[in-house]
Amino acid sequence: MAFQFPNGFLWGAATAAHQVEGNNNHSDFWLMENIEGSTFKEPSGSAVDHYRLFREDIRLLAELGLNSYRFSIEWARVEPEEGQFDEIAINHYRDVLEACKEYNVTPIVTLHHFSSPQWLIRAGGWESEETPARFARYCVYVMSELGGAIPYVCTINEANISIGIKKVIEQMQSGASVQVGINTEMMARMDNYYMELGKAFEVSPREIHTFLAPRTDEGLKVIFRAHVEARAAIREVCPEVQVGLSMSLFDIQSISGGEEHAANDLHEEFLQFIPYIQDDDFFGLQNYTRTVFGPDGALPVHENAEKTQMGYEYYPEGLEAVIRYAAEALNKPIIVTENGVSTDDDERRVAFIERALIGVHACIADGIPVLGYTHWSLLDNFEWQLGFSKRFGLIEVDRSTQKRLPKKSAFYYGSIAKSNMM
């Protein structure tokens, strides 16, 4: 790939704490994975042991040629009981940041990546009016302790994701065919599962409001108010830190007759939230595929289209389109905080990276301020309800030994990064 990217461009890869660290036993996900009748394919367990092997993983990232690492700080570790902050946990993340500094890697830190403390769910979770203040308090603690080593912070990962989850569940309840990365057997087992969860969380099954549960309109406002309150709190203690959040966005397209559906979807998934994020320092953009609308709504993925392990259409060109419409709507710097593909065919990952980066370069050439590209993910990891079966990583992990095995795509992506840093 011969294109030249700007000096200082952030070439990165990403992880999320619960998906890689292992033994995150104060989190809501840990409880949901291990409860009797769980709809999770398997529990996370020791995951890929990144909590112990983080230094090796950051060293490997740097040796590949990358200069940025997006990772999350686990709220359930830092505040395992409400108002009780764990010094060992915060010092662990201090060590992670020190490793980034040692290997000249710029950290992009996410303060909430899907998993929450169990106590938060017992206190009303992501539908409670108290959650924004609780989240801001946690952010203040983390940034007061570590903020001097953090140049970029995402408060919340994929703050809009519950909209898509709600649509998928409604489709599943209606009997429609759904090709996404959610276990469709879930609906048949959900009643018993939620009864057990209610006992474990000590709340009514109807009051289990985890981050990835379908949201009410008020619950969506809670999430975005949590971002606004956290942003203000972070700026109070660390005014030099660049603050934003990340959102999951599809390349929204239409065929004749689908234009109105496409416009409504764009508003629902993105445009309605601009008032909450217009004062951010940057926008974290995440894209994996496209959605095409026809006269009757969203169209299924064409039967002849290449699909990923998640059932998405293989469509790396979506990234460029999403960058362009986000830039037009926001007029602020953009960091691609996630982009990647789940596949066991690493040649298809190589092609995906190349085609996605061609689009990123075209946006930069047109003057759009894209600060960096962060590939999802650094490591094959725990893909939530789907367990370890989906492969997004640049680096394979033999979980019997926890040995790291970089793939061809890792060397290919790293070579692009190196060629742009000479």
- What pLDDT tens digit does each residue of the chain (422 aa) get? 678 999 999 999 999 999 999 999 999 999 999 998 999 999 999 999 999 999 999 999 999 999 999 999 999 999 999 999 999 999 999 999 999 999 999 999 999 999 999 999 999 999 999 999 999 999 999 999 999 999 999 999 999 999 988 776 666 555 554 444 455 555 666 788 889 999 999 999 999 999 999 899 999 999 999 999 999 999 999 999 999 999 999 999 999 999 999 999 999 999 999 999 999 999 999 999 999 999 999 999 999 999 999 999 999 999 999 999 999 999 999 999 999 999 999 999 999 999 999 999 999 999 999 999 999 999 999 999 999 999 999 999 999 999 999 999 999 999 999 999 87
- Whether the bond into 377 is cis, omega within 30 of 0: yes
Q: N- to C-terminal Cα distance for the chain?
A: 15
Cα(274)–Cα(328) distance, rounded to whole angstroms?
Answer: 12
Chain centroid to CA 292: 23
Given the DSSP bridges, would you call strands 242-244 and 283-287 parallel, antiparallel or unpaired? Answer: unpaired
* Nearest to 146, CA basis, from 96, 76, 81, 75: 96
Chain centroid to CA 99: 22
Cα(357)–Cα(369) distance, rounded to whole angstroms?
Answer: 14
Q: At a CB cut-off of 8 Å and minimum separation 6, what does 345 contact?
A: none
Cα(67)–Cα(127) distance, rounded to whole angstroms?
Answer: 38
147 and 241 Cβ atoms separated by less than 8 Å: yes
Q: At a CB cut-off of 8 Å and minimum separation 6, what does 203 contact?
A: 121, 122
Q: At a CB cut-off of 8 Å and minimum separation 6, what does 173 contact?
A: 187
Q: Which of 33, 74, 127, 158 is catalytic?
A: 158
Cα(182)–Cα(265) distance, rounded to whole angstroms?
Answer: 21
Q: Name the strands in the sheet holding 290-294, side by side, starting at the edge strand that comes first in the sequence.
A: 251-254, 290-294, 297-298
Helix, strand, coil distribution of the chain in percent, nearest 5: 45, 15, 40
In order of their start, the domains of the chain are 10-419 (3.20.20.80)
Q: Where are the beta strands (DSSP E) in 222-331?
A: 242-244, 246-248, 251-254, 283-287, 290-294, 297-298
Q: At a CB cut-off of 8 Å and minimum separation 6, what does 146 contact?
A: 73, 90, 93, 94, 97, 109
Tokens of 135: 């989240």
Evaluate the CA torsion angle 73, 289, 363, 265 in order and state its sign: negative
pTM of this structure: 0.96
Query: Across-strand partners of 50?
Result: none
Tokens of 7: 């000096």
Query: If DSSP codes are grouped into helix, strand and coil, which group holds residue 203?
Result: coil
Cα(113)–Cα(73) distance, rounded to whole angstroms?
Answer: 8
| pLDDT of 2 | 74
158 is catalytic: yes
* Residues composing the chain: 422
Radius of gyration, alpha carbons of the chain: 20
* Nearest to 384, CA basis, from 80, 30, 135, 121: 30
| pLDDT of 178 | 47
* Nearest to 44, CA basis, from 309, 381, 397: 381
